[in-house]
């Protein structure tokens, strides 16, 4: 037993009450501090603050994890910083098609003359020879001057010369065929344009003979007038001849014109005469157009000649 103030050892002086109070206050401060630093919410705030600085943060478990990449890199490299535009969750709807579409422009009537060849005429006045049958003679019109080929040539401003004979054609069965007539022509000044019309009287002609006669007629014209622009004009479909009878003639003319490299106007293909207009445009003979028919055909021939020659 230790005696206080005895000779066996130094005396132990008990602490003063004020000292004990100071020690107790210190313990309380330490405890509060420890609690504040170790509560769950504090760790989260520390991590957030560290993460915002761009350094490695310490998680409550003690393991290190990289801080998230922030906008510091973007600030250093503005050219690379533009964020990608987020994709829209709702795509832009396609523009609806109009409920009423613009109607397609109707295609013009197809003709061999329009789709195969065009001819360029020289500058200056144009002269023309028109050679053919009763259609060139103006049968059915009030006068021969009202024949539609002559009216069309006149409206073009061309000076025309006309050689016509009714009941004539290419086929050798005629009293005088086209080739014979062409060979008997007295060559005069060369025309700018030579229009060879015919075929209405060649229904039933032997196909071989017909083809040969058409080709020979073309050759004859080219031999006499090598620099003239030759244009073939075929038969329409009058009352007395259905289309299937005139089709072989039209096909023979098409083939010969194509082989010779000359334009061909096909009234059959263009439907110059139809079931709807024959009653108004045909004369009583059922073959030749009447006065109104010649006037009507003038507009069609004029249109085709303008398109072929560019006049």
Share of the chain above pLDDT 70, in %: 63
Q: Is 2 helix (H, G, I), strand (E, B) or coil?
A: coil
pLDDT in tens, 214-234: 999 999 999 999 999 999 999
- Residue 158 and residue 220 in contact, taking contact as beta carbons nearer than 8 Å: no
> What would the mean pLDDT of 164-180 be, rounded to a whole number?
97
CA 275, CA 292: separation in Å to the nearest integer? 16
Read off the pLDDT band of 117 (50, 70, 90): confident
Q: What is the pLDDT of residue 116?
A: 54
Whether the predicted pLDDT of 45 surpasses 90? no
Whether the predicted pLDDT of 142 surpasses 70? yes
How many other C-beta atoms are found inside a 10 Å radius of the C-beta of residue 301? Answer: 22
Classified by CATH at the fold level, domain 112-309 comes out as Rossmann fold (3.40.50)
Whether the predicted pLDDT of 130 surpasses 70? yes
Whether the predicted pLDDT of 91 surpasses 80? no
Whether the predicted pLDDT of 82 surpasses 90? no
- Residue 166 and residue 130 in contact, taking contact as beta carbons nearer than 8 Å: no
Q: What is the pLDDT of residue 22?
A: 54
Cα distances (Å, whole numbers) of residue 142 to 163, 237, 253? 19, 21, 30
Whether the predicted pLDDT of 252 surpasses 50? yes
- Residue 194 and residue 149 in contact, taking contact as beta carbons nearer than 8 Å: no
Q: What is the pLDDT of residue 186?
A: 85
Q: What is the pLDDT of residue 310?
A: 93
Mean per-residue pLDDT of the chain: 76
> What would the mean pLDDT of 57-76 be, rounded to a whole number?
32
| Better-predicted residue by pLDDT, 134 or 33 | 134
Q: At what angle do helices 207-224 and 243-260 cross, to 10 degrees?
A: 40
Q: What is the pLDDT of residue 13?
A: 45
Most confident of 1-10, 116-125, 197-206: 197-206
């Amino acid at each position: 037993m230790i005696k206080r103030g005895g000779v066996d050892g130094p005396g132990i002086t008990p602490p003063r009450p004020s000292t004990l109070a100071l020690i107790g206050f210190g313990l309380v401060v330490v405890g509060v501090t420890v609690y504040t630093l170790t509560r769950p919410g504090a760790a989260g705030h520390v991590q957030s603050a560290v993460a915002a600085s761009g350094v490695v943060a310490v998680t409550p478990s003690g393991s290190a994890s990289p801080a998230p990449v922030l906008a510091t890199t973007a600030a250093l490299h503005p050219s690379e910083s533009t964020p990608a535009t987020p994709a829209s969750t709702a795509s832009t709807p396609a523009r609806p098609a109009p409920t009423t579409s613009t109607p397609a422009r109707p295609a013009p009537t197809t003709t061999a003359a329009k789709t195969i060849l065009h001819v360029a005429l020289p500058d200056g006045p144009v002269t023309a020879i028109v050679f053919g049958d009763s259609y060139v003679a103006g049968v059915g019109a009030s006068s021969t001057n009202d024949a539609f080929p002559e009216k069309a040539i006149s409206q073009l401003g061309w000076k025309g010369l006309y050689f016509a004979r009714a009941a004539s054609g290419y086929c050798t069965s005629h009293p005088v065929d086209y080739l014979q007539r062409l060979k008997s022509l007295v060559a005069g000044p060369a025309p700018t344009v030579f229009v060879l019309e015919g075929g209405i009287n060649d229904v039933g002609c032997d196909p071989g003979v017909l083809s040969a006669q058409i080709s020979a007629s073309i050759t004859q014209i080219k031999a006499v007038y090598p620099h003239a622009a030759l244009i073939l004009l075929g038969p329409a479909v009058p009352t007395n001849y259905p289309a299937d009878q005139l089709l072989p003639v039209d096909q023979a003319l098409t083939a010969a014109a194509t082989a010779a490299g000359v334009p061909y106007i096909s009234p059959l293909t263009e439907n110059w005469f139809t079931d709807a207009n024959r009653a108004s445009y045909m004369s009583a003979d059922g073959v030749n157009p009447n006065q109104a028919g010649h006037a009507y055909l003038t507009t069609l021939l004029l249109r085709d000649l303008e398109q072929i020659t560019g006049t």
